[in-house]
A and B are shown apart, each in its own frame.
Chain A
Amino acid sequence: MNILVLIKQVPDTEANISVSGSKINEGGIKWIISPYDEIALEEALRIREKKGGSVTVISVGTENTITALRTAYAMGADNAIHIKNDNYNMLDSFTIAEAIIKAIGDIKYDIILSGRQGSDSDNGQVPLIIASKLDIAVVSYAKKVELSENKAVITAETEGGQAVYETSFPVVITANAGLNEPRYPSLKGIMASKKKPIDTKDLAELGVNIESKIEILGFEPPPQRGKGKIIEGDEPEQKARELARILHEEVKAF
């Protein structure tokens, strides 16, 4: 199996995000592989371990993105492609998808794996755009992937339950939480990853239309919530009854 994994580098989910003017302050942020993409990579590695083949990771971003690709190497990826974009915008799914399509070119991948969404933009469009443009199947929110010679059976989250999909190759699969538990990179893997080659491609040289289809007007912090009210009482039962009264009479929540 020849597998491509789409990787996005994002701020650590523990990170506090602060905004100044129309930008996110990047100082002090630790960068990680987006959690869902990490699950996608883990699944790719497990497939390779069972079926053989190779795992290539690809990421679009500034020079900084190489860190995520090295982490992918440390986890066990075979090849890494970096599409360098100095004007990278984490919200511009369309440009990211077009860059990846150009980089794929004529290479035949059996499976393209990706997280269901980046934990920065929370868009979740890149894998869908790629599949639609390449006119191949895509199954979103996978929780279980089973492969045989010529078909993939994928259990995925859907509206109000789970669906089992059947499809032939090539297929794009987006990983949901619960698909697997990603491994930690080994020390040996981390050491080896530093010497692995990164295949860097320039966005403009790939012939991607860099005219964005979206325009960012500005970032802002979340609205401050008013100071809350602590419900006091001598006994827990008294507090519970007062809470019910407030929610019923004042908030009219029920």
Chain B
Amino acid sequence: MSKVLAIGEISAGKLKKASKEVTSIGKKYGSVNCVLIGENAAGFAAELASVGADTVYVSDVKDYAADVYAKAIKEIIGKNGYEIILIPHSWTGRDIAGRLGALLDTAVISDAIELNEEGGRIIVKKPVYSGKAFVKLKIKSNPQIITIRPNSMGIEENAGEGKVENITIDISSAKAKITSLNSTPSDKIALSEADIVVSGGRGMKSGENFKILEELADLLKAGVGATRAAVDAEWVDHTLQVGQTGQTVSPNLYIAAGISGAIQHLAGMGSSKNIVAINKDPDAPIFKVATFGIVDDLFKIIPTFTEEVKKIKG
């Protein structure tokens, strides 16, 4: 049984789902406590307790500063002797993990999709070359810091004590200061967190046409993704790009509309649990990884499919 520390995240006034996921995973390897830094952090302690957190260290700060956060987390680890540190593999999680490793002089393994324990050491499985191969490895130094791919391991309810402990963080010591923040609307689902992703490729033909995917995505509470071809054509912003040099996603359902399935794209979505491919070309490589395929014009399929989903959802 190990002492595990999970690092949670707050985004757009909500506890990110990945916070519960890393806490829940931590519970499997021993006792788990959490760090949660952000606005109204204490208000989310109960949610973390529901998946196993005994103590939640909270700090109610508004601004993000990875260097300051990492130093505060290092102090907590030093005082309490945590052996395993689990962090969501998100924008902020990655940004903090590398710094934390340097501060503690220990290695970090990024983007884990599977963990197993062997004598107090965690055997980590992670994709390399954006999912074209996998590697199993372990950390020999202490503590073991691992970032976990969101949605890869799931969440189990398992009540912990849920004590709240305040920690002080002085943002003014940050080396790089945020002077303005431009948030995307909070009703949009983050790609990496989404259970369903609706993605478009070259077959979408224009940026305007992405509206039909957005409409479907809103209905399914899904994230919208795109291929590099769609991004390069400037139909959509590159933050939507899925694949090598873009984001990696592993949702329960990935709907690929007008996507041929270039190797770089398959690398970013190949670990999705269910893949739907809609493409006119029966020889498109996307059909090789598809769980369900429709060989047809996406502009005929998507609107009817959207109507049908509306009916089902009532």
Contact = CB atoms under 8 A, between A and B. Distances in A.
Interface of A: 11, 13-19, 24, 35-36, 90-94, 97, 119-129, 131-133, 136-141, 153-154, 157-167, 171, 177-178, 212-222, 225-226, 228-231, 236-237, 239-241, 243-248, 251, 253-254
Nearest to B300: A236
B12 A94 contact: no
A225 B177 CA distance: 45
A185 B304 CA distance: 48
Given A93-B98, A160-B184, A231-B293, A13 B300 contact: no
B8 interface: no
B290 A228 contact: yes
Given A131-B102, A178-B238, 18 more contacts: A24-B133, A92-B107, A119-B244, A124-B94, A128-B97, A128-B98, A131-B99, A153-B179, A159-B190, A160-B183, A161-B182, A166-B177, A213-B107, A221-B134, A229-B292, A236-B301, A237-B304, A244-B309
28 contacts: A13-B130, A13-B264, A16-B132, A18-B133, A90-B128, A97-B102, A119-B129, A128-B99, A132-B102, A133-B102, A138-B67, A138-B175, A160-B190, A161-B183, A163-B181, A164-B178, A165-B177, A178-B238, A213-B140, A216-B136, A220-B136, A222-B131, A236-B297, A237-B300, A243-B292, A245-B308, A246-B292, A253-B195
B176 interface: yes
A126 to B, nearest CB: 8
A164 B178 CA distance: 5
Contacts, number: 273
Given A11-B129, A241-B308, A230 B294 contact: yes
A177 B246 CA distance: 8
Interface in B67-86: 67, 70
Contacts of B141: 213
A243 B263 contact: no
Interface stretch (B44-52, B108-116, B151-159): B108-116
B291 interface: yes
A213 B67 contact: no
Contacts of B275: 225, 228
B293 A229 contact: yes
B239 A157 contact: yes
A225 B127 contact: no
Contacts of A15: 129
A239 B107 CA distance: 50
A176 to B, nearest CB: 8
B134 A253 contact: no
A165 B110 contact: no
A206 B42 CA distance: 47
B128 A240 contact: no
Contacts of A165: 176-179
A128 B91 CA distance: 13
Given A160-B184, A222-B132, A239 B301 contact: yes
Interface residues of B, number: 95
B287 interface: yes
7 nearest A-B residue pairs (beta carbon): A128-B98, A132-B102, A137-B175, A213-B107, A240-B304, A244-B308, A236-B300
A206 to B, nearest CB: 18
A35 B232 CA distance: 15
Nearest to A171: B176
B30 to A, nearest CB: 22
B175 A91 contact: no
A242 to B, nearest CB: 9
Contacts of B98: 93, 123-129, 132
Contacts of B246: 177
Nearest to A249: B312
Contacts of A231: 292-294
Contacts of B233: none
A94 B107 contact: yes
Nearest to A158: B91
Contacts of B277: 228
